[in-house]
Structure 1
Amino acid sequence: MNAIAMIRDSAGAVAPRGDLARIRALRFTRPGFDPATWRQMGEMGWIGLRLPEEAGGAGLGLAEYVALAEEMGRGLVPEPLVQGVLSATLLAACGAETALAPLLAGETLPLTAWQEAPDTLAAPGTPGAARLFLPMAAGATGFLLPLREADGLALFAAEGEPETAETQDGGHFGTLRAAPGARLGSLPAGLLEAALDEAALATAAMLLGVAEGAFAMTLDYLRTRRQFGKAIGSFQALQHRAVDLKIQIALTRASVEAAAASLDAGAAAAPRTAATSRAKHRAAQAALLVTREAVQMHGAIGYTDEYDVGLYLRKALVLANLFGSPSLHRARYAACAGDEV
């Protein structure tokens, strides 16, 4: 069994397929995720999956990371794994081992507060600026502030009580206004930009998983729901709609996996941006289409909050704009690689 297959298999411990009882129980609560599950993710090496072994990580690539993120999306997992991996990347890069070790163990959750404006992947590091859209901020044990110093960025620790607002999927975003604390170290040039691209690609993989989960549930429904004495999946109109959705999922998988392969091969900044943005744009558009169609194809029951298929649509609505909206990524791709996505 290769590393990707092992990761997919191990994800079942946190995100068992077909069982969303844990997800429902955590919706609209604080902190919105299970600290014990976060520690389990640390014990399984997921938070440090991208770090080299000498830094306490697993030394795996983007191919393995997106496979894990896909399974997290399929299971609608609320634990902020992508945000934890981002923080681990920055802490390792600036040599902050004291803060890194408990994060990798799942004992802490320092969130990187980088975003200063809506719908951007730019991190200018402006001192005193409010930091926006921090997922699951109520569960953070602290925050990391990238701040501009001369021609580069440095990483600072920060503490504070974020303002929070609920999101469609039952989680929340936080807004942080906090003064920097201890200086943790300097960030290498281009490191934060590359780390944000990886976070965007992992979010694209989560959207792929969301689409797959909704589609699988819909296929089961088409096989079991009967009208006029036969399964509705035998109706040609519904078969055509299902095929169209399957094609969109296949194209999304190809785009996400191609981007991961490109980044693992050491793509330069412009090709990296193009590959990442193509994948995130396609994944967001496909997940929104698939989850909306899934709700419709379930009929009236699909529109009830008690039925699970709607949870996939809610998750897609949140993830679609996280680490850049589809329109932002289309513009980034066009700037780097042409006019088509």
Structure 2
Amino acid sequence: MSAALDDTERDESIRMIRDSAAAVAPPGGDLKRVRDLRFKDPGFDRETLRRMGEMGWIGLRAPEGRGGAGLGMGEACALAEALGGGLAPEPLIPCALSAGLLAATGGAGPLDAALAGEMVVLTAWQERADTLDVPGTADAPRRFVPMAAGADLFLVPVREGGKLALYAQPATGAGVAVERTQDGGNVGTLRPSLGGAEKVAGDAEAALAAALDEAALATSAYLLGVMERAFGMTVDYLKTRQQFGRVIGTFQALQHRAADLSMQIALTRASVEAAAASLDGGATGDARRAVVSRAKARAAEASMAVTRGCVQLSGGIGYTDDYDVGLYLRKAMVLANQYGSAALHRRRFMALVPESDE
């Protein structure tokens, strides 16, 4: 479907996606829901995730023939950006990764329930910190599974006969070790137990590599929404806070710092949108991986710089937990390294696009 859209239809599709996101993350709305869910299990609202499934968000990228919407990365990134602005804690990106993986590999088992948001299906692929490699070691712990406390089912890739098979392991009785994250969410460590798991795909390697790249790009867009909203709140503060009888936004030093942050946001937007357009234009192989890495490296570094800068520009109140800007910094701290840190993606980009002597 996505490839058939012309520019006008694509713009309208993206606008509609942004409008629909307001149901979960209203622009400029308060963050009471986010605060109420922090540091509690499962760390998100299952009913809200189910609504996301009903609106087609979990299957946004899945083919129409497999029950998805068949839309492009432009739409997926627009949605992720809007949800980032509202700090939606629901694991939409990890759930979309799993649904897309099932759809691409023909793993019919839990696909319908995953697309509908009725079952929280998370892919447990990572065996060590800061990597996009998937060794598929059968008995190795799978680490850093986002929002694992709320999972119903884990997809576990396992190397078999030179191929990467995919198993569905129920969360019940799985013995997941859960740790809290800075933003009030959680990550889990799963020890695979294939005795009670169902094999849902015989070769998921290519599909998983593509899904991880899309998740990294969607996370970049989420971080773009995080930094843009934090900056907007900070600009509002600079326009109203007075010191020495003047609005502090008129101080030249603060204006210069704000301008630097604004530039970081603009550069991130350009990188994310260019990457989404490249994927929707059919980029494959090294070209696809390179644009994703460029966007994720930019978003990871810029989100930390912008949210830290916003806390500093907000003065003493910015360092209190009650002040909402700090929530955006905490979210950036968690997501900056998810699906690869800035350092990892810079290394991958340079390996894929080496500097030319010409």
Q: TM-score, normalised by structure 1?
A: 0.97
Asked whether the equivalents of residues 158 and 166 of structure 2 are also in contact (C-alpha less than 8 Å), the reply is yes
**Other-structure match for 2:292:** 276
The structure 2 residue matched to 1:191, chosen from 207, 213, 226, is 207
Tell me, yes or no, if structure 1 residue 37 matches structure 2 residue 24.
no
Give the counterpart letter for 2:12 in structure 1: N
Q: Secondary structure at the match of 1:183?
A: strand
Asked whether the equivalents of residues 93 and 218 of structure 2 are also in contact (C-alpha less than 8 Å), the reply is yes
* 1:2-151 alignment runs, 5 A limit: 2-18=12-28, 19-151=30-162
Q: Secondary structure at the match of 2:109?
A: helix
The structure 1 residue matched to 2:216, chosen from 200, 215, 219, is 200
Task: Give how far 1:240 is off.
Answer: 1.1
Q: Secondary structure at the match of 1:174?
A: strand
**Other-structure match for 2:278:** 262
Q: Secondary structure at the match of 2:295?
A: helix
Give the counterpart letter for 2:212 in structure 1: L
**C-alpha distance in 2 between matches for 1:303 and 1:76:** 18
Tell me, yes or no, if structure 1 residue 164 matches structure 2 residue 175.
no
**Other-structure match for 1:240:** 256
Q: Secondary structure at the match of 1:45?
A: coil
Task: Give how far 1:338 is off.
Answer: 2.6
- Residues 170-203 of structure 1, C-alpha deviation per residue, up to 9 Å, x if partnerless? 0011000021211112235522111111111111
Considering only aligned residues, what root-mean-square deviation do their CA atoms show, in Å? 1.2
The structure 1 residue matched to 2:189, chosen from 170, 175, 178, is 175
Give the counterpart letter for 1:41 in structure 2: M
Q: TM-score, normalised by structure 2?
A: 0.93
The structure 2 residue matched to 1:307, chosen from 302, 323, 334, is 323
Asked whether the equivalents of residues 93 and 187 of structure 1 are also in contact (C-alpha less than 8 Å), the reply is no
**C-alpha distance in 2 between matches for 1:47 and 1:17:** 21
**C-alpha distance in 2 between matches for 1:303 and 1:189:** 44
Asked whether the equivalents of residues 103 and 111 of structure 2 are also in contact (C-alpha less than 8 Å), the reply is yes
**Other-structure match for 1:253:** 269
Task: Give how far 1:52 is off.
Answer: 1.3
Asked whether the equivalents of residues 94 and 155 of structure 1 are also in contact (C-alpha less than 8 Å), the reply is no
**C-alpha distance in 2 between matches for 1:248 and 1:230:** 27
Asked whether the equivalents of residues 34 and 88 of structure 2 are also in contact (C-alpha less than 8 Å), the reply is yes
**C-alpha distance in 2 between matches for 1:224 and 1:231:** 6
- Residues 235-263 of structure 1, C-alpha deviation per residue, up to 9 Å, x if partnerless? 11111111111111000000001111111
Q: Secondary structure at the match of 2:110?
A: helix
Give the aligned length: 340
**C-alpha distance in 2 between matches for 1:49 and 1:22:** 25
**Other-structure match for 2:305:** 289
* 1:212-251 alignment runs, 5 A limit: 212-251=228-267
Asked whether the equivalents of residues 155 and 184 of structure 1 are also in contact (C-alpha less than 8 Å), the reply is yes
**C-alpha distance in 2 between matches for 1:339 and 1:80:** 37
Tell me, yes or no, if structure 1 residue 337 matches structure 2 residue 337.
no
Give the counterpart letter for 2:335 in structure 1: L
**C-alpha distance in 2 between matches for 1:260 and 1:229:** 46
Q: Which runs of 5+ in 2 are unaligned?
A: 1-10
Asked whether the equivalents of residues 48 and 88 of structure 1 are also in contact (C-alpha less than 8 Å), the reply is yes
Asked whether the equivalents of residues 90 and 187 of structure 1 are also in contact (C-alpha less than 8 Å), the reply is no
**C-alpha distance in 2 between matches for 1:277 and 1:44:** 29
Task: Give how far 1:96 is off.
Answer: 2.4
**C-alpha distance in 1 between matches for 2:144 and 2:204:** 24
**C-alpha distance in 2 between matches for 1:189 and 1:77:** 30
Q: Secondary structure at the match of 1:204?
A: helix
Asked whether the equivalents of residues 122 and 151 of structure 2 are also in contact (C-alpha less than 8 Å), the reply is yes
Q: Which runs of 5+ in 1 are unaligned?
A: none
Q: Which moved more, 1:226-235 or 1:304-313?
A: 226-235
Task: Give how far 1:269 is off.
Answer: 1.3
- List structure 1 segments (4+ residues) > 4 angstroms apart after TM superposition: none
Asked whether the equivalents of residues 101 and 204 of structure 2 are also in contact (C-alpha less than 8 Å), the reply is no
